[in-house]
Amino acid sequence: MTKIDINGNTHDTPKLNDSQLNTLAVEDGEYKTLFTPKFSGYKKWEQHNEKLIRAFIPGTIVEVFVKPGQPVKQGDMLLILDAMKMNNQVKSPINATVKEVNVKVGDKVSKGVDLVVLE
Amino acid sequence: MHEKDSKVEELKKRKEQILQGGGEKAVAKQIAMGKLTARERIIALLDEDSFHEYDMFVEHEARDFGMEGKVLYGDGVIIGTGTIYGAPVAVFAQDFTVAGGSLGSMHARKITKIMDYALRMRIPLIGINDSGGARIQEGVNSLAGYGEIFWRNTLNSGIIPQISVILGPCAGGAVYSPALTDFVFVVDNISKMFITGPDVIKSVLGEEISQEDLGGAKVHAQITGNAHFYAESEYECFEQIKKLITFIPWNNTRKARRFEPKDPKACYNIEEIVPGDPKQPYDVRDVIRAIVDDSNFFEIQEMWAGNIVIGFGRMNGETVGFVANQPLVMAGVLDVDSSDKAARFIRYCDAFSIPLCTLVDLPGYLPGIDQEHAGVIRHGAKLLYAYSEATVPKLTVILRKAYGGGYIAMSSRHLRADFVFAWPGAEIAVMGPEGAANIIFRKEISEAANPEEMRRQKVEEYKEKFANPYVAAAKGYIDTVIEPAETRKLLLHALEVASTKVSDRPFKKHGIPPF
């Protein structure tokens, strides 16, 4: 096929061969096609685990209230995550026992990092 | 010397000084960064000797924090009017050599002045952004300046074309002016756009990322969709802007410039582009090139959401907006980004009375958890809304597959397309043959001695009966089935017929699109 550039000149473009194409499954079966960079970069979905307390926002840990082995009730404060000029209270969503505390005061954490693991 | 002459001399001297911008050192730094200066940019963009500058003698307002003694020529921004291929345009260009192009209140007032000019004169506005951001010494006055610009961007939207050119940093609140405009141009290694830059991200998160990886030209052209045009150099970028200007009208009451009609180039044979097998990919842009004058198709957002193709071409010398599913990328499915991309373009064309031509070949919407969770429902709805609301002539050609919701969304009769044509190989059905056969004949297939053989038979049976354009044609949902070779002729006729189209809609202040 030929391609025309911005100045109206034509260029021959190499024909696509099958090895450059990926397989995309849709409702009507599989198609041979190219992927967008964004599609290639998608992360696989994970089931939400309420025992895994993750940073919902990037920030800094300013206080930690719990230790491994400590029982906690739903609504108990686990730690304070300072982010966006706000002391965000991170609370336990369930009654459980603290299994791991992966952060200490002063740690900077990214979004999605495991802060506390309950069991 | 005459007194009059000495006054002219003084004017010349003052101008001479201002033309130096931030001075030799700052200019050398700008060049070292691989950038042109603000004045060089304006000269490169506009017709020769067409630029006229205003507010050259404006001085900055800050009188605190040691700013009182400083001279900031033009307050870091150049404004004026000029022409591109004879078409008048209003321009502002931030001058990074003057206080880093930082936005103080007079700087903002110059920009808003030229925006008001552009609106009053009903001419396109081109903004060249190259600024370190708010001038902190000017405090809330700087914030007020941004707000005034955003408000005008919104007011001007849909009346005059607004073009943003990112030729340097454009960070923090400053990014929202380009985001509110119609077309954003970026240049590799030069454009940088982000809300919070690498420094903030590092101090808050401890994560290190370069400006280029965070918000460089490629990121916005490929990933975010913030940019519409990507260039390797500033000069290439200016050529793109000039070309765009030839395709769009000066304002929403005029038509774009008419060019001499030309037949498509012979190398694009419309009968040979689309494979018969609906699962074989091809480049739909070649079909567009086989239809438009001189095969000249000007694509927009080429690198983002490639599964839908948008851009301008000419038919009989007049601009037409094209929207086409691209089987070559993601099998041409609709998804979050492609819906968003096409919807915005449709609204642009509608606002500026540019007829729309839609080429359909899609298997439907992209299945996936990430798509559902990313809100494909509300983003997909944008496309339906944009097509339904558009009152410009709407022409649709179904090239091959038009299944299910995708069929409805892609400028169907039901969303008030004016003309719907289908090629003989078109398959217009509630879903693809395989999916449909599996549902309709579930029992027969599962109870058969050889389910696979039965499935194959039933798929064939369904294909035979429904995978064609004639079921939809029998209902009048499509106007006619055409041979591929007739496509251009019929579209030209349809455009002529639709050029006097009247579209009455009930009064409303405005609708509530699923933004």
Give A9's contacts (C-beta < 8 A, 6+ positions apart): none
pLDDT attached to residue B60: 87
CATH code for the structural domain at A52-118: 2.40.50.100
Number of continuous H segments (helices) and E segments (strands) in chain A:
1, 12
Of B265, B267, B364, nearest to A26 by CB-CB distance is B364
Cα B481 to Cα B53: distance, rounded to the nearest angstrom: 56
Residue B265: its chain A contacts at CB < 8 A?
A: 4, 10
In eight-state DSSP terms, residue B267 is T
pLDDT attached to residue A5: 60
Q: Which residue has the tokens 């996936």?
A: B368
* Structure tokens given for B409: 């969304």
**B53, B113, B48: which is closest to B83 by C-alpha?**
B48
Cα B286 to Cα B268: distance, rounded to the nearest angstrom: 7
pLDDT attached to residue B303: 95
The residues pairing with B185 across neighbouring beta strands, listed in sequence order, are B165, B229
Of A28, A109, A110, nearest to B432 by CB-CB distance is A28
Cα B367 to Cα B334: distance, rounded to the nearest angstrom: 10
Give B134's contacts (C-beta < 8 A, 6+ positions apart): B102, B103, B142, B143, B146, B172, B173, B174
pLDDT attached to residue B255: 94
**B411, B378, B374, B373: which is closest to B392 by C-alpha?**
B411
- For chain B, give every residue range classified as CATH 3.90.226.10: 3-247, 270-431+467-498
Instruction: Using DSSP, state whether B330 is helix, strand or coil.
Output: helix
Average pLDDT value for residue range A81-97: 91
What does the mean pLDDT of chain B come to? 94
**Does residue A26 sit at the B interface (CB-CB below 8 Å)?**
yes
Return the exposure string of B241-256: e unless at least 16 CB atoms fall within 10 Å of the residue's CB, then b: bbbbbbbbbbbeeeeb
pLDDT attached to residue A8: 59
pLDDT attached to residue B495: 98
- Annotate B101-130 with DSSP letters as a single string: G-B-HHHHHHHHHHHHHHHHHT--EEEEE-
Own/partner long-range contacts of B502-507 (Cβ < 8 Å, ≥24 apart): B503/B391, B505/B391
Low-confidence stretches of chain B (pLDDT beneath 50):
none
Residue B297: its chain A contacts at CB < 8 A?
A: 4
Cα B205 to Cα B196: distance, rounded to the nearest angstrom: 12
CA distances from B75 to B66, B89, B132 (A): 16, 22, 13
B494 and B419 Cβ atoms separated by less than 8 Å: yes
- For chain A, give every residue range classified as CATH 2.40.50.100: 52-118
Percent of chain A that is helix, strand, coil (3-state, to 5): 5, 45, 50
Q: Which residue of B has its CA nearest to A113?
A: B205
* Structure tokens given for B164: 């943003």
pLDDT attached to residue A110: 85
Number of continuous H segments (helices) and E segments (strands) in chain B:
20, 17
B181 and B229 Cβ atoms separated by less than 8 Å: no
Q: Which residue of B has its CA nearest to A44?
A: B370
| pLDDT tens-digit series, residues B463-499 | 888 889 999 999 999 999 999 999 999 999 999 999 9
- Taking CB atoms and an 8 Å limit, are B337 and A8 in contact across chains? no
Instruction: Using DSSP, state whether B411 is helix, strand or coil.
Output: coil
The interface residues of chain A toward chain B in range 79-118, judged by CB-CB distance below 8 A, are 83, 108-110
In eight-state DSSP terms, residue B67 is -
User: Which of the residues A9, A26, A85 would you substitute to probe the B interface, choosing the one with the greatest number of B C-beta atoms within 10 Å?
Assistant: A26
- Taking CB atoms and an 8 Å limit, are A2 and B268 in contact across chains? yes
B18 and B53 Cβ atoms separated by less than 8 Å: no
Residue B364: its chain A contacts at CB < 8 A?
A: 26-28
pLDDT attached to residue A13: 59
CA distances from B228 to B95, B301, B305, B345 (A): 23, 4, 11, 11
* Structure tokens given for A28: 């009507």
pLDDT attached to residue B504: 86
The residues pairing with A53 across neighbouring beta strands, listed in sequence order, are A116
Q: Strand (E) positions, chain A?
A: 2-4, 10-12, 22-26, 29-33, 52-54, 59-64, 71-72, 77-83, 86-91, 96-101, 108-109, 114-118
pLDDT attached to residue A12: 59
pLDDT attached to residue B324: 98
pLDDT attached to residue B253: 97
| pLDDT tens-digit series, residues B59-77 | 888 777 777 778 898 999 9
Residue B303 Cα to chain centre, angstroms:
12
CB pairs under 8 A between A and B: 105
pTM: 0.91
| pLDDT tens-digit series, residues B377-412 | 999 999 999 999 999 999 999 999 999 999 999 999
Q: How far is B153 from chain A (nearest CA, A)?
A: 29
pLDDT attached to residue B205: 72
CA distances from B69 to A65, B63, B78, B361 (A): 53, 8, 22, 65
Kind plus residue range of the DSSP H or E element containing B237: helix B234-247
| pLDDT tens-digit series, residues A37-78 | 888 888 888 888 999 999 988 889 999 999 999 999 999 999
| pLDDT tens-digit series, residues B445-465 | 999 999 999 999 999 999 888
Which comes out higher in pLDDT, residue B156 or A112? B156
pLDDT attached to residue B162: 98
pLDDT attached to residue A59: 87
pLDDT attached to residue A6: 56
Q: Does domain B3-247 have CATH number 3.30.365.10?
A: no
Cα B131 to Cα B118: distance, rounded to the nearest angstrom: 22
pLDDT attached to residue B385: 98
Residue B264: its chain A contacts at CB < 8 A?
A: none
Q: How far is B203 from chain A (nearest CA, A)?
A: 9
What CATH number matches the domain at B270-431+467-498, 3.40.630.30, 3.40.50.11690, 3.40.50.80, 3.90.226.10? 3.90.226.10
Q: Is the pLDDT of residue A7 over 70?
A: no
Considering only CA atoms, give the Rg of chain B. Answer: 26
B402 and B461 Cβ atoms separated by less than 8 Å: no
Of B206, B296, B369, nearest to A4 by CB-CB distance is B296
